[in-house]
Structure 1
Amino acid sequence: MNWIILIIAGLFEVGFASCLGKVKETSGTTMYLWFGGFLVCLTISMLLLIKATQTLPIGTAYAVWTGIGAVGTVVMGILVFKDPVSFWRMFFICTLIGSVIGLKAVSH
């Protein structure tokens, strides 16, 4: 169950990073709404990370949380913010995914 909580926390990390990207692109009321989304996602992500680390090793949980956030943010950047896609960028994202899966596999 705590792995599911950790995955959800990682997805909210993607949310707060994406909201930051939208804050940078907007102004006025829209900017404040995106900033509010950032604060909500940040709070939920941190609370879920704290919950997950009550039974998972902190090093593993943090690495998985940041890995999910990094991969998700890159995907959001490509799909929403039109970030460039290159072979090496995708290669290293795949190695990061493999590392997260490996951490899950060797954790007790």
Structure 2
Amino acid sequence: MPWLTLFIAGLLEIVWATAMKQSHGFSRLLPTAIMIVTMIGSFWLLAIAMRQLPLGTAYMVWTGIGAVGSFILGIVLLGEPLTLARVIAACLIVSGILAMKLAS
């Protein structure tokens, strides 16, 4: 169950990071509100997952899900560049997450 909780926390991190971008420096109310609510939810679920998972593992997985998910959404929704170097970097993050998961 802590892994599912951590995964959902990571998904919420993707949402709040995307909403932060869409808030245009907190000048748009709806994206700012979405960011605040999902940020609180993400941190809360991360804290719950950390009750049973090691700090380093939980934090790395959480940030990795957020980073890679935000990378993908940036490309798909925001037209950010898809370059070989960026894909390699994302693959390295995913491989680090998998290695951390296997090690714990």
Structure 1 match to 2:79: 82
Structure 1 match to 2:19: 19
- TM-score scaled by structure 1? 0.92
Structure 1 match to 2:57: 60
Counterparts of 1:24 and 1:33 in 2: how far apart (Å)?
A: 11
Counterparts of 2:82 and 2:25 in 1: how far apart (Å)?
A: 21
Counterparts of 1:82 and 1:23 in 2: how far apart (Å)?
A: 17
Counterparts of 1:62 and 1:51 in 2: how far apart (Å)?
A: 12
Q: Which consecutive residues of structure 1, in runs of 5 or more, have no partner in the other structure?
A: none
Counterparts of 2:94 and 2:84 in 1: how far apart (Å)?
A: 15
Is 1:105 the counterpart of 2:98? The answer is no
Counterparts of 1:96 and 1:72 in 2: how far apart (Å)?
A: 11
- TM-score scaled by structure 2? 0.95
* Identity %, equivalent residues: 37
Counterparts of 1:48 and 1:35 in 2: how far apart (Å)?
A: 20
Counterparts of 2:21 and 2:66 in 1: how far apart (Å)?
A: 14
Structure 1 match to 2:70: 73
**For this pair of structures, how many residues does the alignment match?**
104
State whether residues 20 and 26 of structure 2, in contact with CA within 8 Å, keep that contact through their aligned partners in structure 1.
no
Runs of 4+ more than 4 Å apart: none
